[in-house]
């Protein structure tokens, strides 16, 4: 009886899509679902609405209210447009950046979104082709936009796509804007509420003019250019796994001074099907197999791989015997090298730390306005009860056992006086009393191996201009 009621509900919902507001191809697919005695596809497509949350949208592509398609993407964009027009009503011209990755339909969804924004009187900077997520974030700040979106499902399987919304600081939206946007999106009840007819005069195509500025900025955050000069012949194998990293990462490495970079030809081909891997997640050894094979063939030193939207990197290097490549060795090696360096740029690191504490996923550098490691002091208190003293100039390490979802690469500007941010590690607050509160886990990210956890960094004195925090895996 319950199943019959569910079928009745999804049937009624699906039939509402059989109107002129929806395109002929969509209607034809829905008719096939309705006619099919097996109602599994119909139920999966319509039993709920794809929810717009703080992370935006993410789901399997296809027809239906529970799928990523031009109508669910359109509703999200119309809701965001409505919120922007209310929130920035006093601005002469509201503007946004629209970017996308390599996935199937990503360009279509980006162009549809650009049309909707422009139809609502919002100027759009639309990238000419796929670009990494960090560059899209940079472009928001570069152009002084109020918001931006990126069409990507990160490292999810090929069937998925997604929609991430960002605010004027280049970070994903946080309270109170997240709730405000969600409320507006939920008001969109059908395709007739969406303004699909774009205004081409409000859409500006951008590309190399942003790439060059962004890459020049990236070059300035090199931790130690002198090391690169000494290691310029380091043999690096890089793969974008068919994704956006191919657009900028080889160029960035070259600009930094690395002269011996090799790419995996088969994976330097843009494809949303990701034909050479099971899943395009660079944290999985399987995704690096072709790069590792090439590295062994040419006797490379390091293997690098980025996910489809290039905000996550996996690395591998030889073991201590110079033999096989191990996906986990790079972060351990970085931690060990820094620990052994007792003076200079890094200073002392966690006096008395044991070697086993360096099984790391993430290394975080706190930089001041001059690009130097911030002169911090105080205690680093972990949610599991561990406590580590910080010395001025120390580097903060987040252990993967304590923070299971702390993976990825992020860089975020900290404008003076701004209190809330959202980067990959979910830095939630930078409080005036001198505490940096870091959250991670299921409650905030929807990912991770356990419950939401919290770590508080108590600082004796906060730098007057703490501008950057950079995470590296």
Helices (H) and strands (E) in the chain, counts: 13, 20
Quick one: residue 19, left, alpha or beta (phi over 0 = left, psi -120 to 50 = alpha)? beta
Torsions phi, psi for 126 (to 5 deg): -105, 120
Rounded to whole angstroms, how far apart are CA atoms 69 and 136?
22
Rounded to whole angstroms, how far apart are CA atoms 81 and 117?
6
Pairing mode, strands 360-368 and 453-459? unpaired
Rounded to whole angstroms, how far apart are CA atoms 299 and 287?
19
**Cβ contact 327:316 at 8 Å:** yes
**Cβ contact 220:367 at 8 Å:** no
Check if 154 is active-site.
Answer: yes
In the numeric block, the tokens 């790391």 are attached to: 360
Rounded to whole angstroms, how far apart are CA atoms 84 and 290?
44
Rounded to whole angstroms, how far apart are CA atoms 436 and 427?
8
End-to-end CA distance of the chain: 52
**Strand partners for 172:** 166
Sequence length of the chain is 473
427 closest CA partner among 469, 389, 459: 469
Catalytic residue (choose from 95, 137, 154, 405)? 154
**Cβ contact 388:379 at 8 Å:** yes
**Cβ contact 322:306 at 8 Å:** no
Rounded to whole angstroms, how far apart are CA atoms 15 and 31?
9
Rounded to whole angstroms, how far apart are CA atoms 195 and 393?
52
**Which residues does the annotation mark as catalytic?**
154
């Amino acid at each position: 009886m319950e199943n019959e009621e569910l079928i009745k509900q999804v049937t009624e919902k699906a039939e509402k899509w059989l109107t002129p507001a929806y395109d002929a191809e969509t209607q034809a697919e829905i008719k096939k679902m309705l006619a099919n005695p097996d109602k599994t596809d119909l139920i999966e497509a319509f039993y709920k609405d794809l929810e717009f949350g703080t992370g935006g949208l993410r789901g399997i592509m296809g027809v239906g209210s529970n799928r990523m398609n031009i109508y669910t993407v359109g509703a999200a964009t119309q809701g965001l447009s409505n919120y922007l027009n209310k929130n920035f009503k006093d601005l002469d011209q509201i503007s946004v950046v629209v970017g996308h990755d390599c996935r199937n339909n990503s360009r279509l969804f980006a162009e549809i979104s650009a049309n909707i924004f422009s139809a609502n009187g919002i100027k759009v900077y639309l990238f000419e082709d796929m670009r990494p997520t960090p560059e899209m974030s940079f472009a928001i700040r570069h152009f002084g936009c109020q918001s931006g979106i990126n069409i990507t499902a990160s490292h999810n399987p090929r069937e998925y796509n997604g929609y991430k919304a960002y605010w004027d600081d280049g970070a994903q939206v946080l309270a109170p804007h997240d709730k405000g946007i969600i409320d507006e999106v939920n008001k969109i009840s059908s395709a007739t509420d969406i303004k699909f007819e774009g205004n081409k005069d409000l859409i500006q195509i951008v590309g190399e003019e942003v790439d060059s500025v962004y890459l020049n900025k990236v070059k300035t955050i090199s931790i130690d250019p002198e090391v690169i000069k000494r290691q310029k012949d380091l043999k690096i194998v890089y793969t974008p796994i068919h994704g956006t990293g191919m657009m900028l990462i080889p160029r960035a490495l070259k600009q930094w001074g690395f002269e011996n970079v090799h790419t995996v030809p088969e994976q330097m081909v843009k494809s949303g099907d990701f034909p050479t891997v099971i899943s395009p997640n660079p944290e999985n050894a399987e995704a690096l197999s072709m790069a590792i094979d090439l590295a062994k063939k040419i006797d490379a030193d390091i293997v690098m791989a980025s996910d489809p939207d290039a905000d996550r990197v996996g690395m591998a290097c030889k073991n201590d015997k110079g033999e096989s490549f191990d996906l986990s060795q790079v972060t351990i090696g970085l931690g060990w090298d820094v620990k052994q360096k007792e003076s200079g740029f890094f200073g002392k690191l966690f006096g008395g730390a044991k070697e086993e504490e360096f099984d790391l996923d993430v290394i975080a550098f706190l930089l001041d306005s001059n690009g130097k490691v911030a002169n911090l002091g105080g205690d680093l208190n972990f949610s599991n009860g561990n406590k580590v003293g910080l010395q001025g100039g120390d580097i903060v390490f987040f252990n993967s056992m304590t923070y299971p979802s702390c993976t990825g690469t992020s860089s975020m500007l900290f404008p003076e006086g701004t209190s809330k941010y959202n980067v990959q590690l979910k830095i939630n607050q930078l409080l005036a009393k001198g505490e940096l509160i870091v959250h991670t886990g299921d409650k905030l990210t929807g990912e991770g191996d356990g419950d939401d956890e919290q770590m508080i960094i108590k600082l004796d004195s906060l730098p007057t201009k703490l501008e950057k925090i950079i995470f590296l895996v």
